[in-house]
Amino acid sequence: MALDIGVLGYRFMGTAHANALARLPMFVPEAPSVNRDVIVGRDEDALARRADELGFDRIATDWTDVVSDVDVFYNLGPNYLHAEPSIAALDAGTPVLCEKPLAHTLDDAEAMEAAAASAAVPACCGFTYRFVPAIGLAKALIDDSELGELREFRARYLQDWLVDPDAPWSWRLDGDLAGSGALGDLGSHLVDLLRFLAGDCPGGGEIDTVSGQLRTYVDERPTDGESETGANSPEYRSVTVDDAFTAQVSLDGGAIGTLEASRVSPGHKNDLSIEAHGSEGSLRFSLERLNELEVCTRDDRGYRTILVTEADDPYVDRWWPPGHVLGWEHAFVHENAAFLSAVEDGSPVEPSFADGLAAQQVLDAIAESDKRNEWTRIEER
């Protein structure tokens, strides 16, 4: 019997996950069968149009009518809507996949993790980049000690969609709705990738101390509508989140690292890059070249580029012959397959809500460090 899927949110992430659900029968046939049952939002006309485009059977304008009525609930709404619907679904015994960051406040993230810990169903936090084949290969190389003892980790995530000071205001620019700006939107991925790649290796472990700086360069932005007087000049709303952040971090195993993210870096569309340096080797990766992993190990005189499209590379056996590259959207197929398989057999899933909370604790400590202008230990926040 197919699992009935309910989805809150129908725009960018709604499209990504709907596409993944549609691809599963073709490329991961052993994954559970699913029925794209209901999509949830506020605008009935937009919902009806998107339900038809994304292949959902029906629409709903109230998530409370859905969370206990479906087999699986996807929370793809704005950050401020992550906690209440997700907790309600878990309390009803419905498995949940919630997009990152786990919540817009640390208190909400803690409540969500507590609900997940008490539930007898899987709860997944949507750190999709764990499911990129090159990231999977990097994880395998680090776990196999190909780099030796980890010493340094660098990660950055740069975008440019807010470079123009006249780029319109959205909920992502409101601290009460988003929680933070580049820090939570992009930095949450960096923190999770650091924890994922370095968490179990010599020199790695958990992030225990941070020093952060946050900056907002554009303090207000125009709304989409006209002014209240009817003039052509737009109304403006305040920006109450960061445009960019940098952070130094230390891991309890001894390694050090840097994290940075920006939504105002000209020329960078979706530029997530990582570097890991160990006692015996290094690797580096860029999301804008997501089929490639650059590696320098014991016997290499410099970096060599691995095209991660072989059948024995992580996830790639599901797709095309070697050299036929994958795209950004394929990671969502891998993520959905892992999550739904856990739903079917009741096994734990990663990344979990505990992983989401761990990332949120680091993000909160970076913001606190910026306020205090001092190094901050995670457990001392």
Distance between alpha carbon 375 and the CA centroid of its chain, in Å? 26
With respect to residue 242, please indicate whether it lies within any of the assigned structural domains: yes
- The long-range contacts involving 347-350, CB below 8 angstroms and separated by at least 24 positions, are 347/122, 348/122, 349/122, 349/123, 349/124, 350/124, 350/130
Burial class (CB in 10 A: 0-12, 13-18, 19+), 220: middle
In sequence order, the β-bridge partners of residue 222 are 236
Residue finishing a domain among 112, 128, 144: 128
Q: For residues 333 and 20, is the Cβ–Cβ distance under 8 A?
A: yes
Question: How many separate domains does the chain show?
Answer: 2
Cβ atoms of residues 71 and 96 within 8 Å:
no
pLDDT of residue 228: 47
Residue 191's H or E segment, with its range, is: helix 187-198
Q: Which domain holds residue 248?
A: 130-326+353-372
Domain match, 73 and 145 both: no
Taking the mean position of all CA atoms in its chain, how far away is CA 376? 24
pLDDT of residue 32: 97
357 and 257 in one domain? yes
Domain boundary among 128, 162, 188: 128
Mean pLDDT by 10 residues, the chain (381 residues): 96 97 97 98 94 97 96 97 98 98 97 97 98 98 96 98 97 97 98 96 96 98 66 82 98 97 98 98 97 94 96 97 97 98 96 98 98 90 47
Query: 99 and 157 share a domain?
Result: no
Confidence at residue 364, expressed as pLDDT on a 0 to 100 scale: 97
Instruction: Give the tokens for residue 357.
Output: 């909370």
The angle at the Cα of 213, spanning 212 to 217, to the nearest 5 degrees, equals: 155
Q: What is the CATH number of the domain that holds 24?
A: 3.40.50.720
Domain boundary among 128, 155, 170: 128
Considering the domain architecture, whether residues 123 and 135 belong to the same structural domain is answered as: no
Contacts of 244 by beta carbon, 8 Å cutoff, 6+ apart: 182, 214, 215, 217, 260, 261, 262, 263, 264, 265
**Is residue 67 situated within a structural domain?**
yes
DSSP reduced 3-state for 144:
coil
Token pair 């056996």: residue = 317
In a domain, 331, yes or no: no
CA distance 197 to 193: 6
User: What is the C-alpha separation between 280 and 278, in angstroms, rounded?
Assistant: 5
